[in-house]
Structure 1
Amino acid sequence: RKEIGPMTFDEKKLLCISIGLLALWATGGKLHSIDTTTTTIIAIALFFFPKIGIMDWKFAQPNIDWGSIVMFGAGIGLGSVLLKTKAATWLAQVFVNAFSLETASVFLLIAIMAAFLILIHLGFASATALSSAMIPIVISIVMGHSAEGLNPLGVTMLMQYAICFGLVLPVNSPQGMVAYGTDTFDVKTFMTTGIPLTIIGYIMMLVFALTYWHWMGIA
């Protein structure tokens, strides 16, 4: 802290803007109706505003990782297209019919649906968007399943966990893109770590589905 020294005036302004932005995000829909996109644009505008702001375009242009922003935008765009064109829903139905999930065992149902959700996440930059598209389909599948002792709520919750496996590509999650934007690693390095973690996580899901979750009556 001694080497860093006291906070500069610009750092204090950055802190105030960041706290205000977080407050607006946290209270959206409760204390006000301003969406997160609008509040973010306002905060960015304040960053560049004369006297109030903390940077100008000459500083921002060479220091912002524009490639990451474009890639993240492309990922969001792809996910939006899959939703709006109903391609994601069509793909899920084809998947269900191909593996006859309506009559599969509970373990096979969990294994196949989890694998499908992990794979389709490669085309989404947001787990929230993927959940909005896929969870209603998951609910319809488990509600129409003929297996005895199936817990629809439990299986749906487990599939929501599977959606969180956005570890393969940086664009699969906002936090992955933030890390990628530091230029300390490339996509290949990210995949070298992400693919083994995804495989380990998937195997652990299957182990728990056979043991602990089954004993608890979730699966």
Structure 2
Amino acid sequence: MPTEHVMTYLSNTTELNRVQFQIALQSAPLLKGIREACICTIPDKCSEEVINLLEDTGISYRCIYHKREKCTLYLYREELLERHLERADIQEILIVYGYKGLLMEDMIEQLSGRLHRYYMKENDFPHEIGAFLGYPGEDIKGFIENGGKNCILTGYWKVYQNLKRAKEIFEAFDRAKEEVVDELLNGKSIREIACA
């Protein structure tokens, strides 16, 4: 993925294609089916087209925050996310933040409300968001307990335990990003990439 190809593509394309490229960069592991979820903030005026692109891809979406003509989309693969949220270490975290006994959709709704209250300066940032992004439970706990400091690696998230596993995951995510960008530059759409 040579930088000059990317720059040429971005400078000679439509706003929607630039947004597709942004989504490709931010959600490549999700598009490739190796990550449960991600968050992308896009221009409000492009949200309908982006949602249409995701139709029939196996990727669900939810606008979890809206502000100043921007929409924060939470994108997720339902089955992968549900499996992750059911893990004992993740359940332990979610219970602390009041998600006990909720269905996945209700948990996403509650997270959205907590994010909204944070942005309205009504409560602290909902650090349990890591559970909804597929982060390992030990790293979510480590981040909360250490106030985001003292991690052993920073990448797609801050790592506090199991460095080897985190490096392998980060490398797989990087490969997915390269593949998705190459596919996009070669004319594939987000839908085609996500359905492959």
TM range (shorter): under 0.3
For normalisation by structure 2, the TM-score amounts to: 0.26
**Structure with more relative contact order (C-alpha pairs < 8 Å, separation 6 or more):** 2
Larger helix proportion of the pair: 1
Larger strand proportion of the pair: 2
For normalisation by structure 1, the TM-score amounts to: 0.25
